[in-house]
Amino acid sequence: MEQSFEVAGPAELEIRLASGDITIDPTLDGRVEVELTATDEESQRLVDEATIELRESHGRPLIVIEVQKKAGFNLGSLFGRQGITCRVRCPEGSGVSAKTKSADLLAHGVLGGLNVQTASGDVEADRVTGGVNVKSASGDVSVREVGAGVNVQCASGDVDIEVVRGSINVNSASGDVTIGEAYDNVNVNTVSGDQDHGAVLRGTVSAHSVSGDVSIGVRRGSKVFLDCSTVNGDTNSELELSGDVPEGDGPLVEIRAKTVSGDIRITRAPAPSDNTQGVHA
C-alpha cells in the first residue's frame, strides 16, 4: 500500500504498528509518502485494512498511520519474519509519535520531535531539534543529537545519546546508560546498569545506581561541586573533593553521585567533539 499527501512545511506523524520495522526519512519537501509492505498473507490482510489519513493538528498537517494488531499467536515471527515494514518520507523537521509492540524505529536526518512507546522495539534516530520521549521495556534507545530535553524510561534496554542540549531524565533497571555530552541538568537512575557521562558542562548531575558503576567527565573550564558516596564501591576523582561551592568564573556543575556497590569515577572531559553543530535549544 502506498499513499502520498501534499503538505506545506513539516508534518506530524502518528504511527501505530505492533510488529515489523518503521523507517523515517525526513528529506522530502512539500509531500509525505507512506509505504506499507507485508511479508506474509496475514500481514497483507492487515495492510489492506490499515488506516492512512491526512488530518490537522494545531495548525499542522497530521498523517495518521494505523495498522491493527494480529489476532492470536504469530507463527511467522517465530521463524524470523518481521511482519510489516512502514516507510515514510516527509519534510525535514517533522515530528514523530509511534506506538509499537516489537517494531523497530529508525529515523535518518532531522526530526522536530520524537515520542515512542514500545515493548521490545529498538529506537534509533540521527538528529532531533525538539524533545525525545521514549517509554520501553527491553528495547535499546540510540540518538545522535537532541536539541531539547530527553526523557527515557526502560527496564533492560540500553540508552546511548551522544549530545543533549536540554535536560535529561533517564530511569533504567538493568540497561546501561551512555550520555556523550550534556549541556543542562542530568538525572539518571539505574539498578544494575552502568552509567557513563562523557562530558557535563553545567547544572545539576544526579547519578544514582545500586550495583552499576558511574563515570562522569566534567568539561574543562566548568566549576565543580562534588557530593559522591558509595557503601561498598570505590570512589576515584581526578578533581579535588570539596564540600564547598567553588569560586571563580565558568559554569557550575553540581555532581551528586550515589551507589551501593558500584564504583564512582570523576574525570576531566576531553575537548568538545566536532559533530555537535546544527542542533540548538
Give the pLDDT confidence of 163-187 residue by residue, as tens digits. Answer: 999 999 999 999 999 999 999 999 9
Residue-level pLDDT at 73: 45
Residue 82's pLDDT band (boundaries 50, 70, 90)?
Answer: low
Mean pLDDT over the full length of the chain: 90
Residue pointed to by grid coordinates 567553588: 246
| 100-114, 161-175, 228-242: range with lowest mean pLDDT | 228-242
Higher pLDDT among residues 182 and 69, named by residue: 182
pLDDT of residue 220: 85
Q: pLDDT at residue 106 above 70?
A: yes
Distance of alpha carbon 189 from alpha carbon 169, whole angstroms: 8
Query: How far is it, in rounded angstroms, from Cα 278 to Cα 146?
Result: 10
Q: Cα 160 to the chain's mean position, in Å?
A: 7
Q: What is the pTM of this model?
A: 0.89
